[in-house]
Amino acid sequence: MKTLWNILSVLAVANLLALIGFVFWLVGSQRLSMDRVRGLREVLVETVPQELERKKADEQKSADEKAAREATAKAAKPPMTAAEKVATRIEATELDMQRYKKLQSDIEAMQVSLRAQQDQLALERRGLEDERRQFEKSKTDTADRVLSAQFKKTLAALEAMEVKAAVATLKELMFSTSAKSADGRQIAIGYLNAMSPSKRNDILGSLGKSEPNVAAELLEELRNFGVPGKAAPKGAAPGQTPPAGN
């Protein structure tokens, strides 16, 4: 027990000597002075909650003093004269006009931008419409060329037939129950109209001998073929309406 006490005493003396040496070092290196010692003592005397409360009271006191100064300055300021009131009002009006002009300018800029976008959309729409019309025209022209070529091929085959065979083919085309009679009749007239005069005369002559009423009707329809106001036969190629006197 005595030995333990001796050890503790030695340690306490050693710590005290170390603390004294540290204090002398702080003083010698000019890191510690009496003012700092007093300030440190004041800081340690006040608790943390007390410090916060004091700072809050100081801030409130500063705010109250500032408000009092502003109120005093406002009370000491003389009232505005009529001229000053007019000048203040004019200044406020000018500021309002400036804000209004800026707003109006912004609106005009937005309108200009919107019109430009609308013009661009209209231009693109017209371009698309032009492309669509060109495509439709190209498709129609292609179809017309194909129909014209096919019509010529069929006409050549019909003219190459014997008269009786050609008459039978035309009658079948005109009166076939598998096709609409009006369409077939118009197709037959279109073929007759496009034939060479000699071949057409031979066919009508042969038909006139066996069925004169049908031949007479065909002659009348051939006379009106291609006349303005008359429907063109559906079997004829587009644009191919030669005069009836061929």
- Give the pLDDT means over successive 10-residue stretches in the chain (246 positions): 78 82 75 72 74 86 87 71 79 88 91 91 90 77 64 85 88 67 74 87 87 86 67 40 37
* Whole-number pLDDT of residue 142: 57
* Whole-number pLDDT of residue 80: 66
* Whole-number pLDDT of residue 139: 65
The single-letter DSSP state of residue 29 is T
* Whole-number pLDDT of residue 224: 80
* Whole-number pLDDT of residue 107: 93
* Whole-number pLDDT of residue 149: 80
